[in-house]
Structure 1
Amino acid sequence: MDKLDAIFAPKSVAVIGASTKPGKVGHDIFVNILKGNYQGTLYPVNPTAKSIQCVRAYPAISDIPDPVDLGIIILPPPEALKAVMESARVGIKGIVIVSAGFKEVGGEGRKIEEQITAICREAGMRLVGPNCLGVINPHPAVRLNASFSARMPAFGEISFISQSGALCTAVLDFAADRDFGFSKFISIGNKADVDELDLLRYFHKDKETEVIMIYLEELRRGADFIQEVREMTSGERPTPILVIKSGRTSAGAAAAASHTGSLAGSEGIYEAIFQQSGIIRAESIEELFNFAEAFSGRKIPNGKRVAIITNAGGPGIVATDMTVTSGLKLARLSEETIETLASHLPATANVHNPVDVIGDASQDRYENALGAVIRDANVDGALVILTPQSMTNALGTAEAIVKIAKRSQKPILCCFMGIIDVSAGVKHLQENGIPVFRFPEHAAQAFAALYRYSKWTGRQHLAQFAFQHDVERAAEIIRTNLSRGRTYLADADGNEILRCYGFPTLPTFTAKSREEALDYAESMGGPVAMKIISPQIVHKTDAGGVMIGVKGREAVIKAYDTIIENATGFDPNAVIEGVLVQRMAEKGEEVILGMSRFPGYGPLLMFGLGGVLVEVFKDVAFRLAPIGRNEARRLVKGIKGRVILKGYRGRPPCDTGSIERCLVSLSDLSMNHPEIKEMDINPFIVYEKGKGAVAADCRIILEPPAAEKAAR
């Protein structure tokens, strides 16, 4: 038996802080449980009341004569602490604290929450909240509405997790308007004990839950969350998980010293978590419900080729546009299908995709058209649009769609719209598990979500790379620099660390004088790049400290002098350690590989188009380390610039395999050396397929370990 059963399916509930006064939370929650027709035993706890709503009240928890599974606490923090202590003594199995005034306000509230959490863990009680709406289970055998929302939702196959209690009431209203049912519904508030991962584990095992929806404000877990949820979304019993995350800003990232740090922020972390764990992200509450509607049909497409059937041109065009912009393709119907359509449809109909069956279409016309396209091997699923005319039979059309859907494993999504009432048809579709939407663009976006999930569950798994890194030598370089108080690694040390991890680098020398610069440049026999070396100058280009394509004695000497002069003018206090002389890399495609470390989550890896324009175009994607070969490949494919890397307008395809190898090496480097705070390899120059790549520039920012920082 799972300990969370005491939260979701308790045989008995005590409302601790139940009130006789309507409008008080303690009164309303008790009444909601009572009027929701709870199937267990309900006990109000109030030291001054004889009864509440004709139910005998008990002065204290210990006065209840029978065992109690769940305690709902609606008391201020100090009294809540006492109630939790008493609950632990009498053996209550689960606690939900609805009251506010705990960690979210800081100070004494935080201390009390920590005490409550410790008591619950020692007693083996699971704790939801504090500062939450409560928990709802509409299952006919339970009928528990332990919340201050008066609305008991219908029973269904979707479980909902919300960090915001205030949002829950709006979601319940929205769900009622859409005829949505829930398997479980919970608000988790401060997450003192039970958090999203605990609930995802529970719902994944729950036979009543087919789809999980989450409203998320923040996660406190990174790699372990990804590892467990990845198995839930694509393991033996894959469960779709849909999320809406509040906030898309990267506030606080601007102070970072690397491109990766300034571009990442919390949004990069969450996008990485969702991508790596197979979670489907929605942009709004409405889209979240639209996606859930599509997944409730339990059919996932094998590809992205969509057939559209409509009786009106306008909605068909809208659906077509949204299909394409959502990353799907209009299916190219076979000649046999086109011939079949032509035999059933009037001459004025369009028998090519999107198929227009004309406004006066009867249910037979829809049935023949849908039956033909859904059997086509070039079609992975269908969108059926109905705009009712005076002669339209919405229910009959719905019945025809259901008949065909039962014979096909391909998803069929519907859009019944218009002024004339189509509710009978909509109801019939819903009762038979056919997703139905109000507008065609919603259906197309939802189909795209199904396809994304299909790609995730059907992804290939490449064999992992086998690397032999020189971890100790890299660690020695880092220790030496930190012991000298250097947190910005010079290019020479940075390049050596890269070589320890198998990165291809360019021949590089540090010149302390014009003469040395000239000797090094001549030894390379071609044009060189020259860069200032100074711990105080991180962004060399901004300081005028970079010259490229330098060739010839006079040019080398002039470049050396100019770089020193520019650097001194940029920061008169900068310590100039010399000028880096590096062989010029051959021309190729410039990308960036980077890493920024975030407390609580670890290293966040970044990949994107590189060079000086990386922060202009911001075409980057993120993953949390550690990653392997498969995730590295998805990371490379996750940017818009992947088109360039595949070969574009006569340019040959790039050696993306080299990028993948170096991304995995960067992940290993990040995991093995926690002293690396931020890191950019930019530009990382990639050549055509089979010719490899090279790291042309590297920037590494170190941070002493926490213990060392404290000692200082």
Structure 2
Amino acid sequence: MPSSPTPASPSSASITGERLTTLFRPRSVALIGASDKSVFSMIAYDNLVKFGFGDRAYLVNRRGADTHGRPTVTSCEQIGAPVDVAFLMVPQAGTLDALSDAAAAGIRNAVVLSSGYGEAGEAGRAAQADLVAHAESLGMVLLGPNHLGFANLTEGIPVTSIPGLPRQGGAVALLSQSGASSSAMLDFATMVNVGLSYMVTLGNEAMITAGHVLDFLVDDPATRAVAIFMETVRDPETFRRAARRAAAAGKAIVVLKAGSSALSARTAAAHTGALVGDAKVTDAIFADLGVIRVDSIEDMLITAGAAAALGRLDRPGIGIVSISGGACDIVADRAEDLGAQLPELAAATTEALTEIMPDYGTVQNPLDVTGAAIIDPTIFTRSIRAMAADPSIGVVGVIQGVPWLDDGSAHVTQRFVDAIGAGMADAACPTVFINQVLQPITDHTRTVMAHGGVKYVIPGLRQAIVALRNVAWWSDVTREAGRRHAAAAPVTVPPAARRHGQWPEDAARRLLADAGLPVVPARLVTTADDAAKAAAEFGGPVCLKVVSPQIMHKTDIGGVLLDVPAEQDSVKSAFEAVTAAAKNVDGAIVEGVLVSPMRRGGTELLVGVVRDPHWGPMLAVALGGLFVEVLNDSALAPLPVSPAQARQLLGRLRGRAVLDGVRGAPPADLDALAAVIARTGDLALALGDDLESLEINPLRVDGTTIEALDAVVTWARKDSH
């Protein structure tokens, strides 16, 4: 085979959106392994012909046999014309040679259909590594393997073996790690009128990942929202960068993530590791990036369609205007279940609606326009205008049926759709039509909608509330995209040479105190007499804790005694007891005993940081102190975290009401608490990759008093030298 120059290997960072332009907007395509015996080949070629791309498709068959009614070539070099994409439908054993042949012909993009790679055990992973290395050596990028290709539906370029592609492009790009599921997703998107700009099956993402494709789509003018079905985020940093760009561009990302796995690196020395499960980390990362997470294909596509149609909302409030009082009841129930905001209307809005509604109507949100709107459809028009003008409403949903079958009765419905469309045209905020049930949006439906000037319909009451809540949430969290945590005040940290081995509590306390974090007073003593003197200085009941780098969980071995009277004999006895307990631990070196004043009351929290192997340091805030694992009430966020974000984390705790003060207890100073939480994150970041985990447990909060009562620090480097 003739040799060709070896361009630079395309690293993950070099696979930019611009680099992918020739892949997703090709001028021509070569079907390598074209065969009348292959269903994949037949569907792929049929798609190209149906979309008018047949004259720019070249068939490569190693025997040179006529295929799909056309002559073929035996090598890409025989094509004799520039080709942008090679669609490889050859068995795995022939893939490397097929890549070489394509590269020799100047083709720089490969779409690899074959399976048996990373999904097929150790041998498959080795084959995938060889595939990537070979593509890199040829200066090629590849999509797949183990997938079904892609379709650029905006420009009518299908490079896929999925049948039944929609012929008209739309505003939502669909990415899927599952090729087989994509066909069902396409069907549902067509049924509910979610037009697609691109459909990309990702397969194993051996080289091009979801993040790379997302980065390309951020700059695609036709794409206004992206729906992604994924089982894992294979290139976290690329995905994170692309998601931030999408947020800044006002393009919503809606993800259906299936599957879960435990963190591969979990610290056993601190409770925080047990709190940071894969699903919680994913939720925290997506929330930080403004990525909408859903749990069904239907919600993914309907939410993405709504986001593309509505764009970013100015306010989270949802206003509902409905022909059905029953639908109003259902919407109100679902809004409460799902956390959607149906705000009370302002006095001016109520007054305006009262003038529109009949005397027997009730003015509220959701608004039942009653049967009077059947007689006078302008009630719809005027109510939509009034609802949209309310200062708390960011989007108005209008519930009314629209036909999907042409039974000759369209003229009955059309007058209502026209009246609704007139109100939408004059509305002061985005609006959307809502069908009561999950019914198809057909050509007949679209004709009725177009006549009335209705641009978008969401089918189903629950689906509408889910979608509008999601779009409202996304609008809020991405409105100031790009604004990150301001630079923290300098944090004092120990020299890098000391950041290893196991640190006892006394060293962890000093680390916190040096960083400006509040720590309960304590004295490290090495004799019973010194312990008694320290207790006398504190002037009340004390706590004694043994200090040893080999004993991380002191309570478990009897190394902690609480509420010890300050009398000399009691303190000395407690000192002897905790040191004796430590001597029973093999290899434990006792550095002394911490004596600190006893604390009672208040609320105990855990504040900790653990390093996720994929996403980096994650901050965990949890209620419960010693009982944190029992209560399992935690909230996570990637670092850095600002004090404002820390307050939001506290607000996500199920037991957050205890911080407001219960049974006469003073309310917590939430601003001060949030500042301590944020400062803990700043300390963890300042320690860099040396830190494995940092845990304050408990962090005691009693009104304005906030103190760390115990702390554990573990380092990535375990050796002591």
1:593 alignment partner, SS class: strand
Task: Select which of 672, 680, 685 maps to 2:700.
Answer: 685
Q: Distance in 1 between matches of 2:111 and 2:76?
A: 15
**For residues 386-419 of structure 1, what are the alpha-carbon distances to aligned partners after superposition, in whole Å with 9 as ceiling and x for unaligned?**
3689999433222222222222241323322369
Give a deviation string over 1:97-148, Cα, whole Å, max 9, x none. 0111122224444344333323433444221111112111122xx4222222
How do 1:56-75 and structure 2 match up within 5 A? 56-75=71-90
| Partner Cα distance (1:548, 1:29) in 2 | 73
When residues 392 and 73 of structure 1 are mapped into structure 2, their CA distance, relative to the original with a 3 A threshold, is same
1:133 to 133, 148, 164: 148
Letter in 2 for 1:394: T
Report deviation, 1:542.
Answer: 3.7
Q: Please give the secondary structure, in 2, of the residue aligned with 1:581.
A: strand
Amino acid at match of 1:696: L
1:291 is matched with which residue: 303, 315, 318?
303
Give the alignment of 1:365-376 within 5 angstroms: 365-376=379-390
CA 420–191 in structure 1, closer or farther in 2 if over 3 Å, else same: closer
- Deviation of 1:319 (Å): 0.6
Q: Indicate conservation of the 8 Å contact 2:384/2:424, yes or no.
A: no
Q: In the aligned structure 1, how far is the partner of 2:171 from the partner of 2:390?
A: 31
Q: Which amino acid aligns with 2:365?
A: N
Deviates more, 1:245-254 or 1:70-79: 245-254
In the alignment, does 2:18 pair up with 1:2? yes
**Following superposition of structure 1 onto structure 2, how do residues 110-121 of structure 1 map, counting pairs within 5 Å?**
110-121=125-136
Q: Does 2:39 align with 1:35?
A: no
Give the Å deviation of 1:169.
Answer: 1.8
Deviation at 1:68, TM superposition (A): 1.0
Q: Where does residue 441 of structure 1 map in the other structure?
A: 462
Q: Which residue in the other structure is 1:323 paired with?
A: 335
- Residue of 436, 455, 463 corresponding to 1:417: 436
Q: Deviations 1:632-677 (Å, cap 9, x if unpaired)?
A: 4544444344444456676334243443354344344345342322
C-alpha displacement of 1:243: 0.9
Letter in structure 2 aligned against 1:55: R
Inter-CA distance 285–376: structure 2 relative to 1 (3 Å threshold): same
Residues 464 and 629 in structure 1, CA contact (< 8 A), matched pair in contact too: no
Unmatched segments (≥5 aa) in structure 1: none
Greater shift in the superposed pair: 71-80 or 596-605: 596-605
1:545 and 2:559 aligned = yes
1:310 to 283, 299, 322: 322
Match of 2:598 in 1: 584
The CA distance in 2 between the partners of 1:605 and 1:418, in whole Å, is 42
For the 8 Å contact 2:517–2:679, the answer to whether it is kept is: no
1:467 paired residue number = 489
- Cα 1:122–1:405 change in 2 (3 A) is farther
Distance apart, 1:45 and its partner CA: 0.8
Could you say which residue in structure 2 is the equivalent of 1:97?
A: 112
Out of 707, 710, 713, the position equivalent to 1:697 is: 710
Q: Which moved more, 1:122-131 or 1:453-462?
A: 453-462
One-letter code aligned to 2:328: G
Q: Could you give the per-residue CA deviations for residues 336-360 of structure 1, whole angstroms, max 9, x where no partner exists?
A: 4334333333333222222222246
Q: Among all aligned residue pairs of Structure 1 and Structure 2, give the percentage whose two residues are the same amino acid.
A: 28
* Residue identity in the other structure for 1:697: D
Aligned to 2:628: 614
* CA distance in 1 between partners of 2:418 and 2:259 (Å): 42
Moved more, 96-105 or 644-653: 644-653
* Alignment match, 2:12: none
The whole-number CA distance in structure 2 between the counterparts of 1:116 and 1:313 is 61
Are 2:163 and 1:150 equivalent residues in the alignment? yes
Worse overlay, 246-255 or 312-321: 246-255
For residues 108 and 217 of structure 1, the distance between their equivalents in structure 2, rounded to whole angstroms, comes to 21
Q: Give yes or no for the alignment of 1:654 onto 2:675.
A: no
Cα distance between partner residues in 2 of 1:126 and 1:111: 18
Letter aligned with residue 333 of structure 2: D
CA distance in 2, matches of 1:671, 1:226: 21
Asked whether the 8 Å contact 1:104–1:190 carries over to 2, the reply is yes
| Residues 14/422 of structure 1: CA separation in 2 closer, same or farther (3 Å cut) | closer
SS in 2 for 1:55: coil
Equivalent pair of 2:684/2:694 in contact (CA under 8 Å): no
| Contact residue 278 and residue 453 of structure 1 kept, 8 A | yes
Separation in 2 of the partners of 1:463 and 1:101? Answer: 45
Q: Kindly provide the amino acid, as one letter, of the partner of residue 433 in structure 2.
A: C
Check the 8 A contact 1:213/1:288 in 2, yes or no: yes
Q: Which residue of 2 aligns with 1:343?
A: 355
Gap runs ≥5 in structure 2 = 1-16, 404-408
Q: Could you tell me how far apart the structure 2 residues matched to 1:653 and 1:379 are?
A: 33
2:368: which partner in 1?
Answer: 356
Q: Which one of the candidate residues 647, 653, 660 is aligned to 1:639? A: 653
Contact 2:542 2:565 in 1 (8 A): yes
* Aligned 8 A contact 1:300 1:410 in 2: no
Distance change in 2, residues 1:178/1:548 (3 Å): same
CA contact (8 A) 1:312 1:387 kept: no
Question: What is residue 242 of structure 1 aligned with on the other side?
Answer: 254
Give the letter aligned to residue 185 of structure 2: V
**Cα root mean square deviation, aligned:** 3.2
Residue pairs, 1:9-28, within 5 angstroms: 9-23=25-39, 25-28=40-43
Change (3 A) 1:238 1:282: same
Question: Which residue number corresponds to residue 396 of structure 1?
Answer: 415
C-alpha distance in structure 2 between counterparts of 1:186 and 1:348, whole Å: 53
What are the superposed Cα offsets for residues 293-324 of structure 1, whole Å, 9 maximum, x if unpaired?
Answer: 32122343322333222232322111112223
CA pair 40-117 structure 1, distance change in 2 beyond 3 A? farther
Query: Is 1:599 equivalent to 2:613 in the alignment?
Result: yes
Deviation at 1:560, TM superposition (A): 3.6
User: Which moved further from structure 2: 631-640 or 305-314?
Assistant: 631-640
- Mapped to 2, the partners of 1:583 and 1:429 lie a distance apart of 72
Q: Which moved more, 1:105-114 or 1:190-199?
A: 105-114
Q: Amino acid of the residue matched to residue 717 of structure 2?
A: P
Query: Which letter does structure 2 place at the counterpart of 1:143?
Result: G
For 1:664 and 1:85, how far apart are their aligned partners in 2? 54
SS of equivalent residue, structure 2 residue 689: coil
Q: Are the structure 2 counterparts of residues 150 and 228 from structure 1 closer, same or farther at C-alpha, using a change threshold of 3 Å?
A: closer
TM-score between the two structures when normalised by the length of structure 2: 0.87
TM-score of the aligned structures, taking structure 1 as reference length:
0.88
Change (3 A) 1:26 1:497: same
Letter in 1 for 2:82: P
Cα distance change, pair 147–470 in 1 and its aligned pair in 2 (3 A): same
1:203 deviates by 0.3
- Cα distance in 1 for partners of 2:593, 2:496 equals 25
Q: 2:492 is aligned with what amino acid?
A: D
Post-superposition CA distance 1:423-460 (Å, at most 9, x none):
65676448956442332222122111121122113349
Post-superposition shift, 1:55?
A: 1.7
Partner of residue 11, structure 2: none
Q: Report the alpha carbon displacement of residue 587 of structure 1 after superposing the two structures with TM.
A: 4.3
Q: Deviations over 1:220-270 (max 9, x none)?
A: 34456434422320x2x3211111111256476887332210110222332
Offset from partner CA, 1:611-638 (integer Å, 9 cap, x none): 1222222222222234455544544444
Corresponding residue number in structure 2 for 1:185: 199
1:557-576 mapped onto 2 (5 Å cutoff): 557-564=572-579
Counterparts of 1:249 and 1:357 in 2: how far apart (Å)? 49
Which amino acid in structure 1 is aligned with residue 34 of structure 2? Answer: A
Cα distance, 1:564 vs. partner? 4.9
Instruction: Look up the match of 1:218.
Output: 232
Quick one: distance in 1 between partners of 2:308 and 2:412? 25
Q: Which amino acid aligns with 1:272?
A: A
**AA of the residue aligned to 2:515:** Y
Shift of 1:171: 1.1
